Structure 1
Amino acid sequence: MKILTLNTHSWLEEKPLEKLEQLAATIVERDYDLIALQEVNQLMTADKVQTDAYFHAEALEGLSVLSDNFGLLLAEKLKSYGKNYHWCWLPVHVGYDRYHEGLALFSKEPIDPTACLVSQQSDFMNYRTRRILFGKTQLDGKDVVVVSCHYSWWSEDEAEGFLIEWQRTLAHLSNYELPVILLGDFNNPAGIDDQGHSHVLQRFKDSYLHAEEIDGEHTVIKEIDGWSGNDQKLRIDFVFTSEDIAAKRYEVIFDGRKTPIISDHFGIEAELYHVLES
């Protein structure tokens, strides 16, 4: 099974429609089974639209998909290439005072999505509000739960920030007895002890550390939104899996090497497989 995760930075990039086209073309060329996207935005003032049977609306949290929703336009672009993906979108909070910012999952198989509020803050107008998108789907003929994640930064205050959001994610995952794939922007760099990455490793495998083939590493290499003043190469976007899923290949993409840069984050492509039960 071939997966992609990307923080799209949608509508905040220069030439966003050109980058949307580049994303769609890469998805078609590389033929992903599953795609997790973060910062999937729509203008608050855009018009409501009808969605088709490939959209799964259970996670909408009372909002509507609007005409410039980045996920909607991507789904339509993929359809124009003859690729029909089931997809869902979860609005998380208002970003930059003008966007409904959210998370999306795309799958070749139908998706049963659920949403979980993981932050202490719950006000949709507050950018600190964090919700996480869970989707039950099938990969290689087996049920899995896939998660599109966009977490807060590490905080020493245990009442806010990544740690409490992660604990609430684990509580929600306890509702499933399935293999798990966690994808997205964790805002916690790899390699820092006793912070976000090390907490996740207590329960899940980092595909970068276990893949049989690895091509690339860092997903952020400069100052970006949320990382003001950063001058280091960071690995803050991840593919984590439960023990029953392994990684054959791991590649950083949309980094200007084989594929164009289309966001302030690079993406990750991974080829995963179910570990056979003994």
Structure 2
Amino acid sequence: MKLLTLNCHSWLEDNQWEKLGILADTIAEKEYDVIALQEVNQLISEEEAFIKKDNFALILLQELKKRGVTGYSFIWDYAHVGYDRFEEGAAILTRHPVQEEHSFHVSNDEDPANWKTRKIIGITIPIRNEKVTFYSCHLGWWQDEEEPFMSQADRLFEKAAGPFFLMGDFNNDADTRGEGYDYLMKKGLLDTFHLAQKRDEGTTIQGDIAGWDENDKGLRIDLILSSRMINVQSSAAIFNGTNRPIISDHYGVEVELDW
């Protein structure tokens, strides 16, 4: 089973259509079972519809169909207004039949006008005669006084039903002790990066990007976490300039499971 997570930074990238094509080509080649995407944007100014014609995930699906890939479906929901012009949300694509869909707030504020409003989406699909849930996550920062990571993680765990995977941008560096990453580990989660028989250095952001101002090093903040022990063949950063071209201000993470 193959999983991919990526913060897309969609419609904010230079050469966006070229980068979208790289993502579509990669999905067509690798045939991921579940893909969790964050910062999946659509313009507020587009036609009145929940999922608008410029929705990044919708267009990605159209690009996959152009490449002869027709087996994917997706869900999307938005959390807040981004950059004053986008409805910014998360999406999940899958090649498996969706038995349940999930969407819920984890932030204190649920007003989409507040850019710190956070919403998690998920799908439950059948895997080897059991139901498994995958959540696309985009959480806040440990030190944020208005929307602290700890309370968002607590709300997420109140809703998450196992077995499950948390996939996404957690805005907490895995190598910083005593903050968000350690808080997740204390809740019993397992990091597929550490479970992997084969892995790289795991870096998913490099240097100064939005939300990580004045950062001067590589950090691992995009994660794929499991609620239970599982055999992981490999974990690798992707779209990092070494493993495929860079297509976002975040690198993606791909893992392959023995499942």
CA distance in 1, matches of 2:131, 2:63: 27
Q: Deviations over 1:171-199 (max 9, x none)?
A: 001xx3x3211100000001222210001
CA distance in 2, matches of 1:182, 1:246: 16
State the one-letter code of the partner of 1:14: D
Report if aligned partners of 1:215, 1:250 keep a CA contact under 8 Å in 2: yes
Matching residue of 1:269 = 254
Q: 2:147 aligns with which of 156, 160, 174?
A: 160
Question: Any unmatched runs of 5+ in structure 1?
Answer: 50-63
Report if aligned partners of 2:233, 2:255 keep a CA contact under 8 Å in 1: yes
Matching residue of 1:193 = 177
Tell me which stretches of 4 or more aligned residues in structure 1 moved more than 3 Å.
139-142
Residue 48 of structure 1, CA deviation? 4.5
Matching residue of 2:66 = 80
Report if aligned partners of 1:114, 1:134 keep a CA contact under 8 Å in 2: yes
Q: In the alignment, does 2:76 pair up with 1:89? A: yes
Question: Matched residue of 2:60: which SS?
Answer: helix
Residues paired across the two proteins, number: 256
CA distance in 1, matches of 2:117, 2:45: 21
CA distance in 1, matches of 2:129, 2:24: 25
CA distance in 1, matches of 2:17, 2:185: 37
CA 1:268–1:156: 2 relative to 1, 3 Å: closer
Q: Deviations over 1:205-258 (max 9, x none)?
A: 011111111134100111001111111110000010122433111011100113
Report if aligned partners of 1:48, 1:67 keep a CA contact under 8 Å in 2: no
Residue 141 of structure 1, CA deviation? 5.4
CA distance in 2, matches of 1:68, 1:140: 35
State the one-letter code of the partner of 1:130: R
Q: Report matched runs for 1:18-167 at 5 Å.
A: 18-48=18-48, 64-83=50-69, 84-111=71-98, 112-139=100-127, 142-155=130-143, 157=145, 160-167=147-154
Question: Any unmatched runs of 5+ in structure 2?
Answer: none
CA 1:20–1:241: 2 relative to 1, 3 Å: same
Residue 142 of structure 1, CA deviation? 3.8
Matching residue of 2:219 = 234
Report if aligned partners of 1:191, 1:198 keep a CA contact under 8 Å in 2: no
CA 1:98–1:156: 2 relative to 1, 3 Å: closer
Residue 89 of structure 1, CA deviation? 0.2
Residue 155 of structure 1, CA deviation? 2.2
Matching residue of 1:212 = 197
Q: Deviations over 1:127-182 (max 9, x none)?
A: 0100111211134554210010000011274x731100000000001xx3x32111
Question: Matched residue of 1:198: which SS?
Answer: helix
State the one-letter code of the partner of 1:124: P
Question: Matched residue of 2:104: which SS?
Answer: strand
CA distance in 2, matches of 1:105, 1:231: 31
Q: In the alignment, does 2:164 pair up with 1:180? A: yes
TM-score, structure 2 normalization: 0.95
Report if aligned partners of 2:232, 2:258 keep a CA contact under 8 Å in 1: yes
CA distance in 1, matches of 2:48, 2:95: 25
Question: Matched residue of 2:205: which SS?
Answer: coil
Report if aligned partners of 2:204, 2:252 keep a CA contact under 8 Å in 1: yes
Cα RMSD of the aligned pairs, angstroms, is: 1.4
Name the stretch that deviates more: 148-157 or 9-18: 148-157
CA distance in 1, matches of 2:6, 2:216: 21
CA distance in 2, matches of 1:226, 1:97: 16
Report if aligned partners of 2:202, 2:237 keep a CA contact under 8 Å in 1: yes
Question: Matched residue of 2:206: which SS?
Answer: coil
